[in-house]
Structure 1
């Protein structure tokens, strides 16, 4: 992506999140970027196309962070790396992270285009696959991977949303490393509630007998 296109995306994210689709205009964006409105049309034909590009770029970067976890040698390591990749994407790209989760009607779209919705579904399947292989390896209790994935994602999204909105430490600019530590501790507590324990092993053995 060119430097100017990147610059346009950054400012467009800010405007969309601040003013919504109806309050957004190419003229406003041009002023924020420091170019004329006609100059923007060398890159985008419409506001809709620009929004689609914002979402596609957000998912592209998120996938990049997640797919790095496939280099992990074990299910546990791939699970951990995928979680860290999601967190890193959110911290390093807060505008794009928030743009992914803006409801379509809030930005003037009747629905998310199929190609972008498919990207979101692919991210969900990837995360559920990491959970499924942890269950297969006996690291997590055998449950519906999609439901467990929903629980873990809701926790992650909740923590990150509180951080990006500066609600974890009101009135303070919470350091990213401090948040990472808080996030890790919170995930650990949640994970311990889902992990297989000796009692689970005993009950499984008794059921098998």
Structure 2
């Protein structure tokens, strides 16, 4: 069986969340997959390239959960589907969510700051666009788009983190219901009258 780039990134993300940056070594990843370390070099030139690819893949996957909201008809529907996509990303892609939003032990590749700057911009712009169009449509009160978007991002990240860490014991349905209630409470402050 041939090892895929995706398989390597999946193992790397799991090791990162379990052990931090020190968990991402070519030797450890190869051992978990059951191949020689040299086999990894067919996919990645070195550990730095692997770490940058891992972070890029996290953001690409995140976008795949957000961008389908553009299929909705109204700004309000697009916003709520975007929020739902965020929660589904956190629930279904825990490793990538953790790498983007919960990492307390940053990757140590020198290229990581540039990757974060480049790859985090599109999903945040996407959220800001949803907020802006809700303001333009009169669904949200007029205000600073950035401030509103960062507040919503903080709220959704906090709720998803509580759910994923099992700090509050609840199943998926209960978590989503609580997530919606919390979002509604935050929205109360920004919804137009």
Which residue does the alignment assign to 2:70? 70
- State the structure with more CA Rg: 1
Cα pair 1:104 1:110 within 8 Å, conserved: no
Which residue does the alignment assign to 1:192? 188
Cα distance in structure 2, aligned partners of 1:132 and 1:105: 33
Structure 2 counterparts to residues 13-162 of structure 1, below 5 A: 13-101=13-101, 106-110=106-110, 112-162=112-162
Cα distance in structure 1, aligned partners of 2:172 and 2:3: 26
Cα shift at 1:17: 2.0
Cα pair 2:48 2:111 within 8 Å, conserved: no
Q: 1:180 is matched with which residue: 176, 180, 190?
A: 176
Cα pair 1:63 1:123 within 8 Å, conserved: yes
Cα distance in structure 1, aligned partners of 2:111 and 2:158: 24
Q: Aligned in 2, Cα 1:182/1:103: closer, same or farther, shift over 3 Å?
A: closer
Cα distance in structure 1, aligned partners of 2:41 and 2:162: 36
Q: Aligned in 2, Cα 1:111/1:39: closer, same or farther, shift over 3 Å?
A: closer
Counterpart secondary structure, 2:148:
helix
Cα distance in structure 2, aligned partners of 1:48 and 1:77: 40
Asked if residue 167 in structure 1 is aligned to residue 167 in structure 2, the reply is: yes
Deviations 1:81-101 (A, max 9, x none): 111111111111000111113
Counterpart secondary structure, 2:142:
coil
Counterpart secondary structure, 1:119:
helix
Which residue does the alignment assign to 1:205? none
Q: What TM-score do you get using the length of structure 2 for normalisation?
A: 0.91
Cα shift at 1:3: 6.6
Identify unmatched segments of 5+ residues in structure 2: none
